[in-house]
Structure 1
């Protein structure tokens, strides 16, 4: 993609966000109403695509509509069995209800951070037919065509924050219990599904309040059913290239239609569908549209859950996270398995998890960057260490789960800027503690370091070589006395002490003195966590892939860890 496209796209994202027509905490969206509100904004999108330098805009194919993302997550594999690969679908839902399938790889590149645009109105520029040798049109750019309240002040050094739409307040979900016409089993009762939304410890209402620092609640959420689907399972789950494939649109349309007379879909922000049979080996989460409430297309957050998913709150919370627009997290072992980071329910929800006699496996928290995506980390709890900052300071990093922390909970290390702001690579540090209703089975108390790459995926850093298959190893937990150096050598982090509320870190530049090891400077005071996230500078991806400098071996002695040695790149 031309650099001018990326710059113009970032400029458009920063150009303004005031009143959201499709706010993330809004109820179901009527596509017809959204179309009227989006026409003026489409003119802005058209103009920005012209400024992007992609050629004669009048000759391009530019479509607008709702960006719909669907994540498919496989069941936990049996011992000794391989896990199925995740699935991912992206569609543009036009105002007339028709859908355009988007190539996932192209869409990620064209949008910069595709996930912050989930369930929002966008404009998509396609290449002219004949310019590319493909049956599907090449995506050149995706920009928002709505206006949103930003989750942080816009800054060109942190493009993924510019486009973010916060989630807050009441997010009422409804459960629709639907059974296939050829399967009579009803695994759980309505009372069970109602209780899942409760505010008691171990229930989803309590979980999402805790994870969001009380920024959202599920008040008014309730269950309905069981409803009978008009068709057998084979009508909804068919074979494609030898594999089961669930027709998610049919499932939502028929399950929603069965409940339409009972449920007021205009007042809900999400729909959890529970089916009494397996789907295609996956549970799904994201967004979808269906003809409900007399509308041609009512669009909202949706999850599709087979029995193994709704019997455990961890996968159900995972799919709801996708409904909120959260992507997967990952570890840094370089394989294709995204479910190997047990520090985030949006990756490995099964390992290092607490069990519940009623609700199965409980969900762990999401990582601090995922919280920030949804605007749940207040600015005073964020601190950025800018590139070129020569100060050495102590920083109190409080545990991420603490709801009323007065210290930093999200520490960002800024690296070298890039001309393309969406090429940003930053390192984000958080502190985690093995305690509480949802986190009592974590691997330990430690500082966890996340590398945030293009498209907004967070990879936990592992100092072991090779990186472990699952990030519950010692190499992924940075503890007292251990030191870590950013790939460019621009920042050195030492875990100085553990406190009752977290850790104290010493952070400063790399200093090469008479010894090959960077000096550890211990200043007297703890810094004030006053710098918000908008100052993050982009990083040089190529530099990270480059051969490690000669000091690498020396830095990786004893308790000292250097990411240029230890981190394995995808």
Structure 2
């Protein structure tokens, strides 16, 4: 009854905020991110290939089994925090007209499920659109599939099974460490290679200027080939490995399907060989499976792969190399950790513009047994639309360990959550102009340095380094007659 009541409440709220005659649908929201190969991304950055821009698909799988492609920009505005609803059951009010992209327009998206004891949203407070926590055992299944016209098997099934191991440098160990032991991959396994019923050309359309992989066909045929072997009722995530290039991209996100049971959401990745050869890329796509968006830096371009403080942005640079599994994943930033429920309430502290000056012991974000703050939030005054409110987060990062040993340095890192519905965290850079990649000194705040928020409401001083992090002072800027510097050494 509670679930039915929540669905009815969501629909009433939806209809109250939607325009007259808007069509309302119920179903599961699917988000899928396409990440270009390093070569394709390099050509895109150099202006030689417009097809190398990151891709983002939004769709609703209705309760009747119809998949409706939605306009991503409108979906972001309609939901407030679209990523928090990835894979969840939602109610959607559709626009009567198509969007400029030619996809279905959206007016409102609200959750229509009950995820139990949910925390407050970082920006919107007591709002419905809060991310599902990722905790406990998460059994992933790797399914390796061959196109019928490609016989190469780049890796053995034993290799894929080993990726889930618990030794340092393997995914089982990585997700335990980055989540502070809140989640694990216990029981994860790999099967294959299965031969798909069709050649690669059936799954990848290269007839136009922009190659496009049919993720539905790839998912259905690959899982269908494995279904006699795998009991998917015990699986919570699926890594699909293909023995040929897809459309130049690796993909990760949510997929709703009926596999050995009722329809439910599966965090899913679609990986060509260049992706599954490197654990960092695979962890990036699994992060999308958990609903994590990209992160970015503050150089103002449209490239979300230039923040090496988060595996969900720049997976390749400032990363540790592994002789077996390629590039190792770095940790995710503190905003992403908080999305997945991995920052305990006592480890978070919020400072308002009206607060008095405060000095905070900010512990390194990777420490699992911290007794101090690990996520320091500087909150701007709330906008009428809470999702348009700006926040800054401070975290301490240390260049050390299995995954963080190649970071640019040990420092306080500051991110800004912009008021643009993107949900992205942008690393802050005190250099003018900002660097193209945030592994520069301007993006690392160290003892003796200070920084003022662009709005002029907070002054951040890194006082000293401690054995477990930094002492950071938050105060109000004091103007002295000239322009207040953004950074002081």
Give TM-score scaled by structure 2 length.
Answer: 0.94
1:224 Cα deviation (Å)?
A: 0.4
1:306 aligns with 2:236: no
1:138 aligns with 2:68: no
1:455 Cα deviation (Å)?
A: 3.3
1:459 Cα deviation (Å)?
A: 0.3
Return closer, same or farther for 1:55/1:280 CA change in 2, 3 Å cut-off: closer
Return closer, same or farther for 1:150/1:492 CA change in 2, 3 Å cut-off: farther
1:167 Cα deviation (Å)?
A: 1.2
Return closer, same or farther for 1:385/1:133 CA change in 2, 3 Å cut-off: closer
SS at match of 2:78: helix
Q: Could you tell me which residue of structure 1 aligns to residue 48 of structure 2?
A: none
Task: Report the more deviating stretch, 258-267 or 153-162.
Answer: 153-162
For 1:157 and 1:91, the matched residues in 2 are separated by: 24
Q: Could you tell me which residue of structure 1 aligns to residue 395 of structure 2?
A: 430
Task: Report the more deviating stretch, 400-409 or 39-48.
Answer: 39-48
CA RMSD of aligned residues (A): 2.1
Q: Could you tell me which residue of structure 2 aligns to residue 541 of structure 1?
A: none
Answer yes or no: is the 8 Å Cα contact 1:151–1:374 preserved in 2: no
For 2:458 and 2:86, the matched residues in 1 are separated by: 34
Q: Could you tell me which residue of structure 2 aligns to residue 91 of structure 1?
A: 59
Answer yes or no: is the 8 Å Cα contact 2:172–2:184 preserved in 1: yes
CA-to-partner distance for each residue in 1:69-98, whole Å, 9 max, x for gaps? 010011112896435211110000001211
1:398 Cα deviation (Å)?
A: 0.7
Q: Could you tell me which residue of structure 1 aligns to residue 342 of structure 2?
A: 376
From 177, 197, 202, the counterpart of 2:144? 177
Answer yes or no: is the 8 Å Cα contact 1:42–1:64 preserved in 2: no
1:452 aligns with 2:417: yes
From 466, 469, 472, the counterpart of 1:502? 469
Q: Could you tell me which residue of structure 1 aligns to residue 453 of structure 2?
A: 486
Q: Which runs of 5 or more structure 1 residues have no equivalent in the other structure?
A: 1-17, 20-36, 517-550, 560-570
CA-to-partner distance for each residue in 1:349-371, whole Å, 9 max, x for gaps? 00000000000000000000100
Q: Could you tell me which residue of structure 2 aligns to residue 66 of structure 1?
A: 28
SS at match of 1:336: coil
Answer yes or no: is the 8 Å Cα contact 2:430–2:486 preserved in 1: no
For 2:54 and 2:487, the matched residues in 1 are separated by: 38
1:190 Cα deviation (Å)?
A: 1.0
Q: Could you tell me which residue of structure 1 aligns to residue 11 of structure 2?
A: 46
Q: Could you tell me which residue of structure 1 aligns to residue 39 of structure 2?
A: 77
For 1:128 and 1:272, the matched residues in 2 are separated by: 37
CA-to-partner distance for each residue in 1:263-292, whole Å, 9 max, x for gaps? 011101100011111111110001223453
Task: Report the more deviating stretch, 453-462 or 149-158.
Answer: 149-158
1:301 Cα deviation (Å)?
A: 1.2
Q: Could you tell me which residue of structure 1 aligns to residue 195 of structure 2?
A: 228
SS at match of 2:38: coil
CA-to-partner distance for each residue in 1:39-80, whole Å, 9 max, x for gaps? 54332122112433x344xx2211110000010011112896
SS at match of 2:172: helix
Judging by fraction of residues, say which structure has more strand: 2
1:292 aligns with 2:254: no
Answer yes or no: is the 8 Å Cα contact 1:330–1:341 preserved in 2: yes
Answer yes or no: is the 8 Å Cα contact 1:252–1:290 preserved in 2: no
Return closer, same or farther for 1:393/1:479 CA change in 2, 3 Å cut-off: same
Return closer, same or farther for 1:240/1:491 CA change in 2, 3 Å cut-off: farther
1:336 aligns with 2:315: no
SS at match of 1:167: coil
Q: 1:349-428, aligned counterparts within 5 Å? A: 349-389=315-355, 391-428=356-393
From 182, 190, 195, the counterpart of 1:215? 182
From 91, 112, 122, the counterpart of 2:90? 122
SS at match of 1:243: coil
Answer yes or no: is the 8 Å Cα contact 1:343–1:365 preserved in 2: yes
From 439, 456, 461, the counterpart of 1:472? 439
How many pairs align?
Answer: 481
1:488 Cα deviation (Å)?
A: 2.5
Return closer, same or farther for 1:156/1:339 CA change in 2, 3 Å cut-off: closer
1:136 Cα deviation (Å)?
A: 4.4
Return closer, same or farther for 1:444/1:136 CA change in 2, 3 Å cut-off: closer
For 1:126 and 1:214, the matched residues in 2 are separated by: 41
Q: Could you tell me which residue of structure 2 aligns to residue 463 of structure 1?
A: 430
Return closer, same or farther for 1:210/1:557 CA change in 2, 3 Å cut-off: closer
1:242 Cα deviation (Å)?
A: 1.4
For 2:487 and 2:445, the matched residues in 1 are separated by: 15
For 1:557 and 1:194, the matched residues in 2 are separated by: 48
1:138 Cα deviation (Å)?
A: 2.8
For 1:431 and 1:497, the matched residues in 2 are separated by: 12
For 2:209 and 2:124, the matched residues in 1 are separated by: 45
For 1:381 and 1:77, the matched residues in 2 are separated by: 40
Return closer, same or farther for 1:420/1:366 CA change in 2, 3 Å cut-off: same
1:158 Cα deviation (Å)?
A: 3.2
For 1:456 and 1:142, the matched residues in 2 are separated by: 15
Answer yes or no: is the 8 Å Cα contact 1:430–1:447 preserved in 2: yes
Return closer, same or farther for 1:49/1:219 CA change in 2, 3 Å cut-off: same
For 1:157 and 1:310, the matched residues in 2 are separated by: 37
For 2:66 and 2:487, the matched residues in 1 are separated by: 59
Q: Choose between structure 1 and 2 for higher RCO, CA contacts under 8 A separated by at least 6 residues.
A: 1
Return closer, same or farther for 1:117/1:294 CA change in 2, 3 Å cut-off: closer
